[in-house]
Amino acid sequence: MPKKIWVFMLTFVFLLSLMLPNAPTAQAKGKSKGNQEKIAKKWVKKKLKSMSVEEKVGQLFIIHAYGKTPTDPDYTETNLNSKRGGANYKEIIEKFHIGGVIYFNWNDNIGTPINPKQVQALSNGLQKIALKQKSKIPLFISTDQEGGIVARVTEPATVLPGNMALGATKSVTYAKKSAEIIGTELKSLGINMDFAPDLDVNVNPENPVIGVRSYSENPNLVGTLGTAQIEGLQKQNVIATGKHFPGHGDTNVDSHYGLPIVNHDLKTLYEVDLNPFRTAIKSGVDAIMTAHIVVPALDSSGLPATLSKPIMTGVLRNQLKYDGLIITDSLDMSGANVLPADQVPVAAFEAGADILLNPPDVELAYKSILKAVKTKKISKKRLDQSVTRILLAKYKRGIIKQPLTKEKMLKKIGTPENLKMADEITEKSITLIKNDHHTLPLKRNQKVLITGPTTANSERLGTLLTDKGLDAIAYGTNTSPTAAEIQTAVDKAKNTEVVVVATYNANTNTAQQTMVKTLKQTGKPVVIASMRNPYDIMSFPEVDANILTYGNRDISTRALAKALVGEISPSGKLPVTIPGLYSFGTGLHY
């Protein structure tokens, strides 16, 4: 090319660059963020001055009530009898100036399947009631949407396979993408706070409450995937909540029904349990939820972490330098109720909590905090610290400026793109850890018995395999199969060539163990499909094959069916160790 043309082109590009607007520099972005923080703090300071003590105390509470609407007349008696503080949400908001609500399925806030218009209308209705109050502060509207076994929002929204399935993919991209989907769809429903991700490191095969809610037994993997999900949720302006601090991964008691004790030494606590929380704090997580667990190495008082100042203030605030929101786990759980009912909220607040979640008696909890402030047991300075954090979070995530959600946003729920991505993630998570004699994939002309608890989707799996051309017989049992059910399964197995048993936490269920061992004695090849925790094979290592799904949602059952017949090759890697049998990272392919 002639030199003159080169000179002309360079000159043209230079002049064009002068005409185009400059991209913001990192310094400019920093200044913009700094200005936003100044504006937020100025607004909070002004708002605090205008609020009464009663209004400030109300902001500390996130509560639940029954009903599909803010004034649902069908649940008046239920709400009053269950000490919700009023006949309906409207009455509770007006009476106690509450800071937020939490949605569940069992209280009829969210149906199964979900009715998106109803949930959005409930959210908008509650926000309008809050905005009519003197303080005009919108609500946190929260739920537990971890994915997998803990998901309040289900079909027709996007159902995702859960944390341990993500751990089996070891994919940061999938973790972030799944959280973006969750965040987008929650936001469409007017839900602005998610009690996720679970940052517990599951190192105990007998953990009854965490298990597949954890990504892994590896704290670094938990921290990496957890951080990706925090980023995905907060990118959608949904508050992410890392839980359950200081770590619920090594318990054999469910804190809903008892008080677990974690006897880790300080070295283990800091290297394992606290590790993902440190990572989350560095990533800028909006909120951290407490655990109702006793940790003697951090506090010898015998109090659960939720009520422990050495843990909540000493470790989380002072050592880990966390200044975001601290939220208690639900105060109606047995693990929190180790003090008289009126003392629990005060003790949690004094320990360092900002938000008191789901007290069993709303009026009692509210009055106990109000009394503690008025008698100066809780200083007004301490109260203002928590209310400041609450208001800043609401401002930062756009809840103050845009509390309402437009109906057109419902189009973002369960989109073909989201559903396709959920299927892809789930299929990549399916993990094969044993396959003797090439038992899998199943052959199209084989006669197959599909059995096991209906909880493990045994009958649904049978239907899917029949649809795929197998000569399949399905027989579902109770979660703990009776002797008669086991005998029926054995009788049916005699006329088949291979047996697939869908199990559900069989390593802690002796009846399921008996069923598998009895079926193995028939001489038929036995395939175990572990439909929740991956540790089932510990109780019957002699089975011919073991394939893992990490959850019993239909999306996982569909992916399993594909893997069993060889439509997909299992590609997941075991995110935990199965003691004495399989190491972390094990994963076979066809």
SS3 436: helix
* Structure-derived torsion over alpha carbons of residues 164, 335, 102, 182, reported in degrees to the nearest 10: -10
CA dist., res. 432 & res. 581, Å (int): 13
Query: Rounded to whole angstroms, how far apart are CA atoms 229 and 369?
Result: 34
Q: Read off the amino acid at residue 77.
A: E
Lookup: tokens for 88: 């309906």
* Contact in structure between 326 and 316 (CB atoms under 8 Å): yes
SS3 577: coil
- Torsion, Cα 556 557 559 560, to 10 degrees, reads 120
Given 329, 354, 361, 536, the catalytic residue: 329
Q: Which residue has the tokens 């309008």?
A: 128
User: Is 423 among the residues known to form the active site?
Assistant: no
The Cα 149–Cα 183 span in angstroms is: 17
Nearest to 298 by CA among 333, 263, 346: 263
Give Cα 113 distance to the centre of its chain. 18
Radius of gyration of the chain from Cα atoms?
A: 26
The pair of structure tokens assigned to 9 is: 């082109």
Which amino acid does the sequence have at 478? N
Which are the catalytic amino acids? 329
